[in-house]
Amino acid sequence: MFDDLPTLSHQEQQAAVEKIQELMQQGISTAQAIKMVAEQIRKEKAELPK
């Protein structure tokens, strides 16, 4: 599940945790929130020039 997740800095990890927590406060399940944030991170990292 996480094999293709890029390496994140501590700051990026913290931002991801905060986003997951925000989604959970809106009533989204933990698993769904993690999935949504992971997909967004993958998309953002894929768009960066290599």
- Give the mean pLDDT of the chain: 89
Reading the block at residue 42, the tokens are 């993958």
What percent of the chain stands above pLDDT 90?
A: 66
Tell me what pLDDT residue 47 has: 85
Domain residue spans of the chain: 10-45
**3-22, pLDDT tens digit by residue?**
666 788 999 999 999 999 99
Assess whether pLDDT exceeds 80 at residue 32.
Answer: yes
Q: Which residue reads 């406060």 in tokens?
A: 25
Tell me what pLDDT residue 4 has: 64
Tell me what pLDDT residue 50 has: 65
Q: Do 42 and 3 contact (CB within 8 A), yes or no?
A: no
